[in-house]
């Protein structure tokens, strides 16, 4: 990450729910610029405050579709529907609604399309919103392989082709940041604008001003990064360990990445049930991490040809902050920065109004050009 005076100014958006967050006393600035190169961190964070309909008393067997999602914003199901699309040889699930130029939303780990629920109704006023489940996640097919970002990007390019969208904008969070970058880099004639949120850059994209981080990190970073090498271990032991104590495993991640807050119980229960519904679902959810070596190599090659489209990096103030933009600067020539004040990793669930503000500003030229 570069923090020189020549960097574009950072936009800090105040958070109306800031009273829910507790500021952490430490500074990450000297660590975050290097963390991405070796780890490409997949982090978590946020607090959802729903004005939605009542949650069901129990999670249904058909968890993952719009019809079974808990506490959706009022009117959500009048606009959005679950659809299944065969694309790139994979049966993909996406929640689609709205009218206007296409906007593809790519979730992170351990989430699915549901992570975008608070943003989707407002975005649908101006855009055709496509909130996809990644390969291996949610209701999208769980294949044995194909979890490197070149294949995951091809999945999404093929999805958009099947839906009739040749050019589109992309918003990616966490692992969706990594996939979104690959999609923009590998399909340069398709992606008009790219928004990436809440990791300090794509893994394998190297900032020449910083060396890779050491194996033994300070405790506050180790606590937030340990899941990456853990998830990478390609052995049934990992499935056994998580499956036997999934609630504690995911609750720890949501808490430690939350920037002083965590998600409400109904949301955590939903995600745990989705990821731990059976062994195949759990195993597939680790797929991207187990393709990490290939992803590092692919991103190292992608970096040689910088993105020229506008890119916005969004970070939570209590999480990766300006590093979300700084980490992609070695791979893109036109990068803007936004920091959401007072929140952690789960910016779309913790501060939806502020996310909509920065997205609206950044996507306005795209909307105007396609309108």
CA distances from residue 18 to 99, 119, 207 in whole angstroms, order as listed: 32, 18, 32
- Across 283-293, b (16+ Cβ under 10 Å) vs e yields bbbbbbbbbbe
| Other Cβ atoms closer than 10 A to 158 | 18
Percent of the chain with pLDDT strictly greater than 90: 77
What is the per-residue pLDDT across 105-141, written as a single tens digit (0 to 9) for each? 999 999 999 999 999 999 999 999 999 999 999 999 9
Is residue 83 within 8 A of residue 239, CB to CB? The reply is no
pTM attached to this predicted model: 0.85
What is the per-residue pLDDT across 249-269, written as a single tens digit (0 to 9) for each? 999 999 999 999 999 999 999
What is the per-residue pLDDT across 144-196, written as a single tens digit (0 to 9) for each? 999 999 999 999 999 999 999 999 999 999 999 999 999 999 999 999 999 99
The mean pLDDT of the chain is 85
Q: Quickly state the pLDDT bin for 210 (edges 50, 70, 90).
A: low
pLDDT for the residue numbered 6 = 35
pLDDT for the residue numbered 217 = 76
CA distances from residue 60 to 65, 75, 243 in whole angstroms, order as listed: 10, 21, 19
**Cα–Cα dist 36/215, whole Å:** 13
pLDDT for the residue numbered 10 = 43
Enumerate long-range contacts of 280-283, CB under 8 Å, 24 or more apart.
Answer: 280/142, 281/142, 282/239, 282/242, 282/243, 282/246, 283/142, 283/239
Query: Has residue 232 got a pLDDT over 50?
Result: yes
Q: Quickly state the pLDDT bin for 215 (edges 50, 70, 90).
A: low
Q: State mean pLDDT over 8-16.
A: 40
3-class secondary-structure state, position 93: strand
| Other Cβ atoms closer than 10 A to 18 | 17
Beta-carbon contacts of residue 112 (< 8 Å; ≥ 6 apart)? 64, 133, 134, 137, 138, 139, 271, 274
pLDDT for the residue numbered 370 = 87
Domain range 10-50+73-370, CATH class: alpha beta
Beta-carbon contacts of residue 273 (< 8 Å; ≥ 6 apart)? 59, 63
3-class secondary-structure state, position 65: strand
**Cα–Cα dist 155/14, whole Å:** 36
For the chain, the structural domain boundaries read 10-50+73-370
What is the per-residue pLDDT across 64-93, written as a single tens digit (0 to 9) for each? 999 999 999 999 999 999 999 999 999 999
Burial class of residue 322, CB neighbours in 10 A (0-12, 13-18, 19+): buried
**Cα–Cα dist 212/234, whole Å:** 24
Query: Has residue 29 got a pLDDT over 80?
Result: no
Percent of the chain with pLDDT strictly greater than 70: 81
């Amino acid at each position: 990450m570069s923090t020189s005076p020549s960097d574009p100014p950072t936009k800090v958006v105040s958070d109306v729910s800031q009273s829910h967050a507790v500021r952490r006393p430490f500074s990450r600035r000297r660590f975050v610029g290097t963390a991405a190169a070796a780890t490409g961190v997949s982090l978590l964070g946020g607090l959802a405050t729903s004005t939605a309909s009542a949650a069901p008393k129990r999670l249904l067997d058909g968890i993952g579709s719009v019809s079974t999602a808990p506490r959706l914003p009022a009117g959500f199901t009048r606009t959005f529907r679950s659809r299944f699309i065969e694309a790139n040889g994979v049966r993909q699930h996406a929640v689609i609604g709205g009218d206007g130029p296409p906007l593809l939303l790519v979730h992170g780990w351990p989430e699915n399309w549901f992570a975008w629920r608070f943003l989707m109704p407002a975005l649908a006023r101006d855009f055709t919103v496509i909130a996809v489940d990644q390969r291996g996640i949610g209701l999208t097919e769980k294949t044995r392989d194909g979890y490197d970002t070149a294949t995951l990007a091809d999945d999404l390019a093929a999805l958009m082709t099947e839906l009739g969208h040749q050019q589109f904008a992309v918003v990616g969070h966490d692992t969706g940041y990594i996939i979104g970058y690959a999609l923009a880099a590998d399909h340069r004639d398709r992606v008009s604008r790219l928004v990436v949120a809440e990791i300090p850059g794509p893994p394998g994209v190297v900032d020449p001003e910083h060396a890779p981080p050491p194996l033994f990190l300070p405790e506050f970073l180790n606590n937030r990064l340990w899941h990456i090498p853990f998830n990478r271990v390609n052995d049934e032991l990992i499935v056994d360990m998580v499956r036997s104590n999934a609630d504690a495993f995911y609750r720890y991640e949501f808490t430690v990445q939350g920037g002083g807050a965590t998600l409400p119980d109904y949301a955590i229960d939903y995600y745990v049930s989705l990821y731990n519904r059976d062994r195949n679902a759990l195993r597939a959810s680790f797929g991207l991490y187990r393709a990490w070596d290939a992803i590092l190599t692919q991103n190292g090659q992608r970096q040689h040809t910088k993105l020229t489209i506008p890119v916005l990096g969004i970070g939570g103030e209590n999480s990766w902050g300006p590093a979300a933009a700084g980490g992609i600067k070695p791979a893109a020539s036109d990068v803007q920065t936004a920091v959401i004040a007072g929140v952690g990793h789960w910016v779309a669930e913790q501060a939806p109004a502020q996310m909509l503000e920065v997205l609206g500003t950044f996507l306005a030229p795209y909307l105007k050009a396609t309108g």
